[in-house]
Amino acid sequence: MKRVLVTGMSGTGKSTLLAELARRGYWTVDTDYGDYFETVDGESLWIESRIEDLLSVDDPRGLLIVAGTTRNQVTFYPRFDHVVLLSAPEELIVERLRARTDNTFGRSPDEMAAVLADLAEVEPLLRASATLEVVTTKPVADVADAVLAHVS
């Protein structure tokens, strides 16, 4: 079974991509929700035992697509067959964060500043480890097609 991590800064389209892939019948898990993370000293980190359990499942669909961005995700890179980075121009990220209705993260000035700082500091680290980068300025169906073509 193939395991794919979709990562990227807030507002790059991880949840939107997962919704599209789930609509197409793929097994997707958004680690921003559920019991996959805990907050330690103000920082969201994956609960390693939960992620380990998730990645240990062998599913007949043959493909697991996990989305999330945490400092400790690098611990699990060896367990993923692919690490896909979603990125977008800063202006588009700001626009998306201001307009989103399903998740309020990024709307406050402090959260927006943190996202923009992460864009400059963290995204280059994610890029260095990615097996594919998709710039999400195109329709989500095209993003999904690009990801699936890469991981198939």
Q: Which two tokens stand for residue 56?
A: 């240990």
* Best CA proximity match to 69, nearest among 39, 44, 40, 105: 44
d(CA 37, CA 48): 8
pLDDT band, residue 122 (cuts 50/70/90): very high
pLDDT band, residue 114 (cuts 50/70/90): confident
3-state SS class at 81: coil
pTM: 0.93
Q: Please say whether the dihedral angle defined by the alpha carbons of residues 109, 98, 45 and 146, taken in this order, is positive or negative.
A: negative
45 forms bridges with which residues in the sheet? 38
3-state SS class at 101: coil
pLDDT band, residue 106 (cuts 50/70/90): low
Question: What φ, ψ does residue 85 adopt, rounded to 5°?
Answer: -95, 125
pLDDT band, residue 24 (cuts 50/70/90): very high
* Best CA proximity match to 127, nearest among 88, 93, 94: 88
How does strand 132-135 pair with strand 63-67?
Answer: unpaired
Q: Does domain 2-151 have CATH number 3.40.50.300?
A: yes
The mean pLDDT of the chain is: 93
